[in-house]
Amino acid sequence: MREKLVNLEQAIGIVKDGDQVVFVGGMDWTPMAVMRELARRGVRGLTAMGVVGGAMNLDFLLGAGVADTVETCSLGFETYSRVAPNYDRLQKAGDIHMLDNT
């Protein structure tokens, strides 16, 4: 049987410019190593989808220039901040595209 587990670099290697990535919303269990590796590799133009909202994960992708489109029902830092700071800044500047999936 083929081994299905791969290291982080191999897993991120399948993500290409313009792909759609999906993450669970909220501040818990955010895979920040995955986020940082996407930014390190210079992946661009992703559509980042937050299932049941988004938080630090999606906001990091926006701030790092990895994602330029977000699809979610909300994007904030829960009790820490009502609106995610990178999202807020980029939305006001008109530099991202937001899709509402409520």
In the chain, where the domains are located: 15-100
Does residue 74 or residue 28 have the better pLDDT? Answer: 74
User: Which pLDDT value is given to residue 37?
Assistant: 96
Q: What is the mean pLDDT of residues 13-26?
A: 92
Is the CB of residue 96 less than 8 Å from the CB of residue 90? yes
What are 27-64's pLDDT values in tens digits?
777 788 999 999 999 999 999 999 888 889 999 999 99
Coil vs helix vs strand at 30:
coil
DSSP letter at 33 equals H
Contact, 51 vs 23, CB < 8 A?
Answer: yes
Tokens of 29: 């269990």
Q: What is residue 1's predicted lDDT score, i.e. its pLDDT?
A: 77
Q: What pLDDT is recorded for position 52? A: 84
CATH no. for 15-100: 3.40.1080.10
pLDDT band with cut points at 50, 70 and 90 for residue 101 = confident
CA dist., res. 43 & res. 41, Å (int): 6
The C-alpha atoms of residue 82 and residue 70 are separated, in whole angstroms, by 17
**Rounded-to-10 torsion of CA 72, 80, 40, 52:** -20
Q: What was the pLDDT predicted at 15?
A: 96
